[in-house]
Amino acid sequence: MGYQKRSKDQLARRVAQDIHEGAYVNLGIGMPTLVANHIPADREVILQSENGILGMGPAPEAGAEDYDLINAGKLPVTLRKGGAFFHHADSFAMMRGGHLDICVLGAFQVSSTGDLANWHTGEAGAIPAVGGAMDLAIGAKQTWVMMDLLTKQGVSKVVAQCSYPLTGIGCVKRIYSDLATLECSAEGLRLIDKVDGLEHAELEKLIGLPIAA
């Protein structure tokens, strides 16, 4: 029996579904930013941007960009009514201090116990750059990863132990992927859901690790 991967938008919708009313949320650069488009209209969620914005709104219309109002990816955004600005030390206090409810990040690798690698490939000659990744990973009440389960070469990005340099230890609570949603804990992986038609045994084979049902 065949199965269909979740598209990027389907995956973003799946993540958005789990963001609760009243949540303070930081969406990482790249795929996680798509989640904002799928938060149900009747749910009030406040987005934080690491560069000093709470109540961040969508991109402005063409011509209305204000380059003093940008997101962490340095692209123009808007401010919702009730939004606020603050300096960098306060912004990262929101993370480190455990005030953010959820942060959604991309990843190179996640271990079954929630170790995260998403900042550096460690390749010789690569310029290292970390930004807010380490602060976000360990700071939010819940850190979720959003990614394709497999690399382009078909290798699982969920691993027993990360081979890339770590961003944080035991910090990832959930992995939302194009094939399945998984929970990470000291006991290992647990299945939350998977795409229709994908057998449990097949998923375990793809990842190469046991997954509690």
Q: Is 57 in the site for other proteins (CB under 8 A)?
A: no
Q: Which is closer to other proteins, CB of 102 or CB of 132?
A: 132
Q: Which one of 25, 27, 95, 189 is in contact with other proteins (CB under 8 A)?
A: 95
Q: Which one of 139, 149, 179, 183 is in contact with other proteins (CB under 8 A)?
A: 139
Q: How far apart are CA 44 and CA 64, in angstroms?
A: 25
Q: Which one of 57, 106, 165, 188 is in contact with other proteins (CB under 8 A)?
A: 165
Q: Which is closer to other proteins, CB of 19 or CB of 95?
A: 95
Q: How far apart are CA 44 and CA 22, in angstroms?
A: 5
Q: Name every residue whose Cβ is closer than 8 Å to that of residue 193 and which is 6 or more positions away in sequence.
A: 180, 181
CB of 184 to other proteins, least distance (A): 16
Q: Which is closer to other proteins, CB of 86 or CB of 188?
A: 86
Q: Which is closer to other proteins, CB of 103 or CB of 211?
A: 103
- The 3-class secondary structure across 57-99, one letter per residue, is ECCCCCCCCCCCCECCCCCECEEEEEEEECCHHHHHHHHHCCC
Q: How far apart are CA 129 and CA 207, in angstroms?
A: 28
Q: Which one of 2, 128, 154, 210 is in contact with other proteins (CB under 8 A)?
A: 128
Closest alpha carbon to 147 in 31, 10, 13, 34: 31
Q: Name every residue whose Cβ is closer than 8 Å to that of residue 54 and which is 6 or more positions away in sequence.
A: 24, 46, 47, 48, 83, 84, 86, 94
Q: How far apart are CA 91 and CA 175, in angstroms?
A: 25
Contact between 102 and 140 under an 8 Å Cβ cutoff? The reply is: yes
Q: Which of 21, 50, 61, 199 is catalytic?
A: 50
CB of 41 to other proteins, least distance (A): 26
Q: Is 184 in the site for other proteins (CB under 8 A)?
A: no
Q: Is 67 in the site for other proteins (CB under 8 A)?
A: yes
Q: Which is closer to other proteins, CB of 91 or CB of 156?
A: 91
Closest alpha carbon to 21 in 75, 118, 76, 101: 101
Q: Is 105 in the site for other proteins (CB under 8 A)?
A: no
Q: Which one of 41, 62, 64, 89 is in contact with other proteins (CB under 8 A)?
A: 89
Q: Which one of 96, 113, 185, 190 is in contact with other proteins (CB under 8 A)?
A: 96
Q: Give yes or no: 202 in active site.
A: no
- Active-site positions read 50
